Amino acid sequence: MVQGLRQGLIGLIVMAGALLGLPAAASAAETGWAIEEHGLYRALPDVLLTDETGRARRLAAWSKETPLLVTFAYARCTGICSPLLRQLHATTDRLGGRGDRYRVVVVALDQADTPKLLQAFARSQGIRGPGWSFTTAAREDVARLEAAVGGWSRPLPDGQIDHPALVGAVREGVLVQTVAGADFQAPRLAVALAEAQGDFLPVYPAPESDMALRCFSFRLDGQGFGLDWGIALLLAPAGLAFGATALIFRPRRGP
């Protein structure tokens, strides 16, 4: 038994050594991925976007009218564009409010695209309904906007454009959330939308907010804290346990 254990342990150590070498090899091949934290809470370049109706609007003014989900695609794309747009369509359909409370703005990455062409591509993917805008912009503006959201695009030898799947949630010209990847789920996009619409995302409520019980009271100038009534609830379980133990073990008089 002990001999078997020893041999097993040696085997595990050898395997561990082999495996620890793998991450470096795997991660070396993966470079330049989009990062969701990139550029958060910064003003986006105020680029001029022209939609499929021919109307041209500045991004800052447009996002003051309504929160925007900005994403990037192009009509000849054989890669991530289709899954990204379909996921965006399915998820926003599920969450509701598209067109009423926010818009999805698709920016063409290919200068050969027109807004109509981009719209036709999207329709070929089954994307319909209100709240979509398919736009083009000057080459430099597209590059600046995409970089500000945390992405990039570069031409490939086969004529395709390499770019990450990105959705930027924009409120009043400011990037408030970025969702990277095409496989996001509804709650993730719902958080981005909530922030784009100016909803408060609860992290820790401000001390003056209406609350049933609070365990600590904080000074607004950041200089220390005090105990509040809620602390009694924190201490209650231990107090009750020790009290009940004393009661259960109380000395009993003999018969």
User: Which tokens hold the place of 178?
Assistant: 């970025």
Q: Sign of the CA dihedral 12, 17, 20, 22?
A: negative
Q: Does 214 bind another protein (CB under 8 A)?
A: yes
Specify the residue, 54 or 154, whose C-beta has the smaller distance to another protein: 154
Specify the residue, 143 or 190, whose C-beta has the smaller distance to another protein: 190
d(C-alpha 253, C-alpha 249), whole Å? 12
d(C-alpha 58, C-alpha 97), whole Å? 23
Q: Which part of the chain contacts another protein (CB under 8 A), choosing from 99-107, 117-125, 128-136, 179-187?
A: 179-187
How near is the Cβ of 113 to another protein at its closest, in Å?
Answer: 25
> Residues 58 to 117: which contact another protein by CB under 8 A?
94-95
Per-position b or e across 205-232, b if 16+ CB within 10 A of its CB:
eeeeeeeeeeeeeeeeeeeeeeeeeeee
Specify the residue, 61 or 241, whose C-beta has the smaller distance to another protein: 241
Binding pattern for the stretch 15-54 against another protein, x by CB under 8 A and - elsewhere:
xx--xx-xx--xx--x--xxx-------------------
Specify the residue, 5 or 159, whose C-beta has the smaller distance to another protein: 5
Pairing of strands 216-218, 225-227: antiparallel
Rg of the Cα atoms in the chain = 28
Q: Sign of the CA dihedral 60, 56, 124, 34?
A: negative
- Tell me which residues touch another protein (CB under 8 A): 1, 4-5, 8, 11-12, 15-16, 19-20, 22-23, 26-27, 30, 33-35, 94-95, 180-181, 183, 185-187, 190-191, 194, 202, 204-205, 209-216, 218, 225, 230, 233-234, 236-238, 240-242, 244-246, 248-249, 251
